[in-house]
Amino acid sequence: MPRLATPLTESQVRALEPRATRYCIADGNGLVIEVMTTGSKIWRFRYTLNGKRQPLATIGDYRMISLRVARAKAQKYAAMVAQGISPVATARRDRGAESKADVLREAAELYLATALAGKSDEYRRTTRRALDKDVLPAIGNKPIGAVSADDIVAICERIKRRGSPKMALHTRNVVKRLYVYLIARQLATSNPAQIVPARSIATFDSRTRVLSGAEIGVTLRTIDTSNIRRPLKLALHLLVLTMARKSELVDAKWAEFDLDRARWTIPAARLNAGERARADRVVYLSRQALTLLRELQRDRASDNYLFPSVRGDDRPIAKSTLNQAVKALGLDVEHFVLHDFRRTASTHLRELGQQADARDATHSAAETKAKTQTEAQTEATTEATRQHRLLQSWADFVDSQIEAARHAAHGAA
């Protein structure tokens, strides 16, 4: 039986350095990696047959065989040894196949297993999706060195014809990073994606994306039924209901809220540069928003921030946290980013017959300064009523879309 060993990780294998003499590091189940004085790393299989220790069987070069694949081969050879069969001939045939396995599909598998080992789950998921969905079906069986810039252009054009120029550019960048990795491992000599200019694939005008009512419902229902942390679910829902900017909500403090009066006053210092001259901005809160805020208040983990960092220090979550939470859900909503919620609200409120734009669904205290106190108070009260009505109409519409998505999901089940 092979001695038990602590399993290796891809990062540990990458970090192995050559010494004055070659040496082996065990992974377990007979699998070892031998580091040569030249720096080359070779997978070997160590085994005993008929009570005698046998010479190491060579599995192959680490550059071409990932840790996952090497383990699978070692497991196969161990099963042969258990039946009293020498794995040497099989290993030799496998190496012959590996020496020919210079096609892009094998290279991509090696890239995913090694270079992306330390990346986030979301990064690995989006990279694999681009490769599996568009790249490998088209050119996966081509030799690494035979892939051309024309191949990359053809793939990107097919994606663009689906109405996804941003995904086309992302896919080109995935191939570009793959070839950077292959060149570094001396498995490729040129980068076909590098030749294709990004501007030839996609240029982006100012965003015009507006979610349909059904997309709003599906998005929020997916968020609500996901396993992300409850405070992040509430944050994403509040982002929709309040029509605030992401940075405004992420950095929000409890001192800014008057839940009894259903008001959230965002200090001028926290507004974007274009709005700061208008002093503080007031966001009027719908019944639904108040319900979410009271839940946050009841279970709050910070006396200062609505959404404190889980690290325990007195600061809010990172600006990217909500984006990462949404990306991790893998929503089937094309070209969607969080900022689209504001434009979406504006569009739907106009369709609902409201005159005010969602971006103006707040009130600036500076607008009343030039009026008499009585006029200012009267107009402020009227404006507050109008804004409350506006935000409540929006919240009711959002609720109706979530309910429709819930019914549709139950019907499909």
CATH for 213-412 is: 1.10.443.10
Reduced to 3 DSSP states, what percent helix, strand and coil does the chain have, rounded to the nearest 5? 55, 10, 35
DSSP state of 54: P
CATH class of 10-100: alpha beta
CB 192 within 8 A of CB 145: no
CB 322 within 8 A of CB 235: yes
Identical fold at 10-100 and 106-200?
no
Tell me the angle at which helices 121-130 and 165-184 cross, rounded to the nearest 10 degrees. Answer: 100
Query: What local confidence, expressed as pLDDT, does residue 354 receive?
Result: 53
Q: Residue holding tokens 């404006």?
A: 383
Neighbours of 318 (CB within 10 A): 12
Query: What local confidence, expressed as pLDDT, does residue 133 receive?
Result: 92
- Whole-model pTM: value is 0.49
pLDDT in tens, the chain (413 residues): 445 678 888 778 888 999 999 999 999 889 999 999 988 899 999 999 888 899 899 998 887 787 888 898 999 999 999 999 989 888 888 776 555 447 898 888 878 877 776 677 778 888 999 999 999 999 998 999 999 999 999 999 999 888 888 888 889 999 999 998 888 777 888 999 998 988 788 765 445 677 888 888 888 998 888 888 999 999 999 999 998 888 899 999 999 999 999 999 999 888 875 555 567 889 999 999 999 999 999 988 888 999 998 876 678 988 788 888 887 776 656 556 677 788 888 888 877 665 444 444 544 544 544 555 666 566 667 777 888 888 899 999 999 999 998 888 776 55
Classified by CATH at the fold level, domain 106-200 comes out as: DNA polymerase; domain 1 (1.10.150)
Could you state, in order of their start, the residue ranges of all structural domains in the chain? 10-100, 106-200, 213-412
Element (H, E) at 27: strand 23-28
Q: Residue holding tokens 């106190």?
A: 373
For residue 363, the SS3 value is strand
